[in-house]
Amino acid sequence: MDVADRRLISLLGRAYPSREAMLALARAAGPAVDAQDDWPSLLRRARDGGRYAALLADVLYDPASSQFHQPLLGLLGADRDAVLAAGLVRHGLPADPGTRQALLESLSTAPDPGLQANLAPPAGINDPMTYANAVADAVRRVARIEVDGRPAGTGMLVGPDLVLTAAHVLDASAFPPPGSPSVVAVFDFVRTPGASESETGTRVPVAEFLCGSLPSAQEAAGTAANNDPGPDRLDFALLRLSSPPPAAVTAAGPAERGHYRLDPAEYAFASAPLLFIVQHPLGAFQGMTFLTQRPAVLFGGRRISYLGNTAPGSSGSPVLDISGRLVALHHYAATGSNRGVPIAPIAAALLANGFGELFGTGGGPAAPVRPGTDPFRVTRIARQPYVDRNRLRGTIAELCSGDSPILVVSGQRRTGVSYTYRLLAYGASRWDTHPPLRTLVPGGLAVVPLDLRQYAETDPGQRLDRLIPHVAQLLGLHRAGEQFAQEARNVVSLGLWIRSGLRGSAKQWWIFVDGVDDPAESCPGPVAELISEMLRLADDPQVPLRVVLGGAGAAEVAETVFPVGTFALDTVNGLSRADVQAWLRDRVAEEGGAADDARLGAELDKLYPADAPLPIDLIAASLPAIVQRLTPGQTP
């Protein structure tokens, strides 16, 4: 053991004088821990297990050891850059000014880029703070894409609930992919101490395949070489998630993920600064590679070629510059180099297909909400109809103000109960466009979903053990994949945690508990206790929490805690013919026309045949085309 090692061990012993404090820190960082460990054996074990940088990074980010941070930085020697980089990935930018400055100096000067945990780029970055923020944003916005339960590629957020990936990740020959595969975006899939891959990540299902462009046949077959794919073969897919992913959990608290802007302006690759790719190669934890040379532009700007470390599973990854601008979509590897699709032609294709709201420029259908209008009164969400629900819309102000912090949405399955979340999430993502909402909730809204149906196959006795960590994660109180203390796995402890964690929060948190159908099935004893505790927390004016219960048995569950009449109630019975008729008339009028009564009646007869109406999702999916057919001058 050399002098530097002895000094490091001495410093750590003073920072963590008790064995309990040392072992608690070590368990969080991930190396295997023995109850008899001391600092020398623990550091040796961490080096052997590849967790040395993570362990010391956790020391640097621990407020309890802040007086030792600067001396520790001076003792790290050649390990300093790796430790600082590990801290950036695990915790974000450090709050301590000295540690932050050391990180920025490391980013400015450290060499040797590559696909590695070390985030150090080549020398020559003029604004390392901007670069550090770009990396932190990418970690939060990039997701692993799974198709039918298997990792298939990578994608990134380009809207609150929109993900962009490569079309061939889903299917190289058809879009939308045939057979309606199950597709899931897994955010926060980063290496987490003490957690397996199955315990890591924030999973959000894909609800809709919105728009896409396939690769060329030669690219799909791996024989593209120098063949121009053509202007209509851009290999991208735009997907709508079932809900926006919850806020990312960082050492400083919940952090908004944000999303990348799709810029239709052509990017100047010939003078590009450092570019990098954040990816899930081979479906593994998030990794990064740097492009050490400027890309070559091919085929009139429809492809770029570059050098960098990628692998199967990297397709659909963002290619970013050091300012955090999304400049290309990683496409595939070919003949010793990589290919990407510049964002400019993808953006142009989306504009041409009516997705102008992604760019704030119009183009295609009018944006669903204009500044100053109430986003909860929207009639379209992600270009899909949102009909009726006037009782729900009218109740939202009561929830915001706290006059009625609990809402019950009562209805049978497939009547539209689950559509409630879409409206709540959409309005919350645009709360700042409406001055009355900004007055009611100046700190903003966060709406998170908890669907009890996803836990139906879990043994009732174990269901609570799964639900409690997930609730804490949804509310930004627990990082996905971190070990969850056994003593916290009870309703009382969770209630205390939520009360202390949310009290004083400027943001208002809404949790939509869906699938409350048969109370005996969906809410066995312990689960009913959990819901009751959340209802009581929402009723506390000091806790900025609102609870929405949805399902056929939601009112019955709510009544076990509060008398009828003390919570808001919205009863859902599907889409009535009268409501759909009114919606169609209004939309045709917005297009400058007037619906012909006979043609409108004929369209409604198809949706509402004499024996039984079509399912609600089929009715909703049919409405945009009906508006087009009813509007004079529109081409069917």
Average pLDDT over residues 496-507: 84
Stretch among 25-34, 385-394, 436-445, 599-608 having the lowest mean pLDDT: 25-34
Q: Average of pLDDT values for 405-421? A: 85
Cα distances (Å, whole numbers) of residue 288 to 114, 284, 353: 7, 12, 32
The string of pLDDT tens digits covering residues 431-478 is 777 788 888 888 888 888 888 888 888 887 788 888 888 888 788 776
Dist CA 227 CA 299 (whole Å): 9
pLDDT band at 486 (very low <50, low <70, confident <90, very high): low
The pLDDT of residue 329: 96
pLDDT-based confidence at residue 326 (cuts at 50, 70, 90): very high
| 176 CB-near residues (< 8 Å, 6+ apart) | 170, 209, 212
The predicted model gives 31-57 an average pLDDT of 78
pLDDT of residue 442: 86
The model's confidence at residue 320, banded by pLDDT at 50, 70 and 90, is very high
How far is the C-alpha of 313 from the C-alpha of 422, rounded, in Å?
A: 30
Q: What is the pLDDT of residue 125?
A: 43
For a pLDDT cut of 90, what percent of the chain falls above it?
15
pLDDT at 446: 85
Specify the higher pLDDT residue, 49 or 375: 375
Tell me what pLDDT residue 187 has. Answer: 94
Most confident of 148-152, 196-200, 224-228: 148-152
Q: How far is CA 227 from its chain centroid?
A: 36
Global pTM value:
0.48
Between 76 and 155, the more confident residue is 155
Average pLDDT over residues 486-505: 79
CATH fold label, 389-571: Rossmann fold (3.40.50)
Start-to-end CA span in the chain (Å)? 80
Q: What pLDDT, on a 0 to 100 scale, did the predictor assign at position 67?
A: 86
Where in the chain are the domains?
A: 3-110, 138-248+260-352, 389-571, 577-630
CB 236 within 8 A of CB 165: yes
pLDDT of residue 483: 53
Q: What is the mean pLDDT of residues 329-346?
A: 84
Of the candidate ranges 108-112, 448-452, 493-497, the one whose mean pLDDT is the lowest:
108-112
**Under a CB-based contact definition with an 8 Å cutoff, are residues 57 and 86 in contact?**
yes
User: Where residue 93 falls among pLDDT bands split at 50, 70, 90?
Assistant: low
> Residues, the chain, total?
636
Which conformational region is residue 371 in: left (phi greater than 0), alpha (psi within -120 to 50 degrees), or beta?
A: beta
Cis upstream peptide for 176 (omega within 30°): yes
Please state the rounded mean pLDDT for residues 111-116. Answer: 31
User: Do the two domains 138-248+260-352 and 389-571 of this chain adopt the same fold?
Assistant: no
List Cα–Cα distances, 547 to 77, 164, 424, in angstroms: 51, 31, 12
What per-residue confidence (pLDDT) applies to 370? Answer: 43
Tell me the helices (H) and strands (E) count for the chain, helix number first: 22, 22
User: How far apart, in whole angstroms, are the C-alpha atoms of residue 108 and residue 123?
Assistant: 6
For the domain covering 138-248+260-352, report its CATH number: 2.40.10.120
Per DSSP, the three-state class of 373 is coil
Q: pLDDT category, 86, cuts 50, 70, 90?
A: low
Confidence at 599, pLDDT banded by 50, 70, 90: very high
CA dist 51 and 114 (Å) reads 19
Residue-wise pLDDT for 554-567, tens only, equals 998 888 888 767 78
State the average pLDDT over residues 604-633: 82
CB 201 within 8 Å of CB 164: no
Sheet holding 303-306, edge to edge: 287-291, 275-279, 318-321, 326-334, 337-342, 303-306, 296-298
pLDDT for 126: 46
What pLDDT, on the 0 to 100 scale, is given for residue 426?
80
Mode of pairing for the β-strands spanning 545-550 and 508-514: parallel
Under 8 Å CB-to-CB from 450, ≥6 apart: which residues?
Answer: 467, 470, 471, 474, 511, 512, 513, 514
Token readout for 591 is: 């297009």
118-170 pLDDT, tens digit per residue, is 333 333 444 556 677 788 889 999 999 999 888 899 999 998 889 999 999 99
The SS3 call for residue 147 is: strand
Q: According to the model, what pLDDT value does residue 586 have?
A: 87
* CA contacts within 13 A on the Cβ side of 333: 11
Report the pLDDT value the prediction gives residue 357, as an integer from 0 to 100. 58
